[in-house]
Amino acid sequence: MTEITAHHGIFKNTDLHVDDTGGSGRPVVLIHGWPLSGESWSEQVPAFEAAGYRVITYDRRGFGRSDKPKTGYTYDTLTEDLHTLLAELDLNDVTLVGFSMGGGEVARYFTKYGAERLHSVVFASAVPPFLLKGPTNPDGPLDAAQAAKMTAGLTADEDAFYDDFTTQFFSVDGVLKVTEEQRQEALALAKQSSKIASLACMAAFAGTDFRDDLTKVSVPTLVIHGDGDGTVPFDGSGARTHEAIAGSELVVIHDAPHGVTVSNPDEWNAAVLTFLAN
């Protein structure tokens, strides 16, 4: 466990909580989804470490055990935080694994910093290329009314919103695909988040267009997604990302929800480890 100072402010720094297994293996950085934390990778870290990788997780600013400033929740700043982590830990030949919202940092990284430090990337149930449906993005899986409803729900009652959100997160067609204990663990992580951060990041992952970023992806890429994902539907996100990145690999996990890393960890881990070994 350590802390990385992601931003040096005039009056206050912004520190990120980082967990690092250490060792000499090739580094794999796991970027968590909204509104969770690095602890959401509990089913992946031991498996990847056992396979010989150095595994790094961190809590995005505003979430988990990291600092919770009032600003800095655009993808440019969030990607700067990721880059600071790589630089501070002097990580090279890295695989970035971005789950859900975390796929946005992976995409934006190529635009801001290029591929010098990177070996490969994974878009896991990820939000690119562009969630919000509109005239220039008719295939976006999130319409403006849905986005407004989510914002209003979180604003009005955090507890009720997160209770419903975590249920949908782990469900396919109304059927919960994890144990209630696992859902409660995710709910507890969600409740560690700052409301300011959650609302700002909701706007960021819904409204950020990553289509141009994806054209800059220049390393081996895996797109992995559950075909029962009702939170970030495959057809509007993973399928389009796979089409946008020439030569990318695609793994679709059958009957799996958005929270596939918890519901189907063995199948998910095996697919990603196979990709990492290439």
Options 100, 171, 248, 263, the catalytic residue? 100
pLDDT of residue 11: 53
> Band of the pLDDT at 83, cuts 50, 70, 90?
very high
Task: Tell me the CATH number at 238.
Answer: 3.40.50.1820
Averaged over 13-23, what is the pLDDT?
94
Q: pLDDT for 136-190, tens place per residue?
A: 999 999 999 999 999 999 999 999 999 999 999 999 999 999 999 999 999 999 9
Find, among 51, 64, 3, the residue nearest to 23 by Cα: 51
At 62, the amino acid letter reads G
Section 118-127 average pLDDT = 98
32: annotated active-site residue: no
| Total domains in the fold of the chain | 1
pLDDT above 90 (res 12): no
Residue 8 has pLDDT above 70, yes or no: no
Residues 212 and 111 sit within 8 Å (Cβ to Cβ): yes
pTM for this prediction: 0.96
Question: Does 70 score more than 70 pLDDT?
Answer: yes
Of 49, 88, 79, 44, the C-alpha closest to 61 is 79
pLDDT tens per residue across span 231-267: 999 999 999 999 999 999 999 999 999 999 999 999 9
* DSSP-derived secondary structure for the chain: -EEEEEE--SS--EEEEEEE--SSSPEEEEEPPTT--GGGGTTTHHHHHHTT-EEEEEPPTTSTTS---SS--SHHHHHHHHHHHHHHTT--SEEEEEETTHHHHHHHHHHHHTTTTEEEEEEES---S--B-BTTBTT-SB-HHHHHHHHHHHHH-HHHHHHHHHHHHTEETTEE-S-HHHHHHHHHHHTTS-HHHHHHHHHHHHH---HHHHTT--S-EEEEEETT-SSS-TTTTHHHHHHHSTT-EEEEETT--TTHHHHSHHHHHHHHHHHHT-
Report the mean per-residue pLDDT for the chain: 96
Q: Half-sphere exposure of 205 toward its Cβ, with a 13 Å CA cutoff?
A: 28
Q: How far apart are CA 161 and CA 154, in angstroms?
A: 5
Task: Give the number of other CB atoms < 10 A from CB of residue 246.
Answer: 10
pLDDT tens-digit map of 176-232: 999 999 999 999 999 999 999 999 999 999 999 999 999 999 999 999 999 999 999
pLDDT over 60 at 1, yes or no: no
pLDDT tier at 9, thresholds 50, 70, 90: low
- Active-site option among 20, 194, 229, 237: 229
The active-site residue, picked from 20, 194, 258, 263, is 258
Query: Is 229 tagged catalytic?
Result: yes
Bridge partners of 28, per DSSP, are 55, 95
Percent of the chain with pLDDT over 90: 95
Containing domain of residue 165, as a range? 2-277
Q: Is 237 a catalytic residue?
A: no
Q: What per-residue confidence (pLDDT) applies to 7?
A: 72
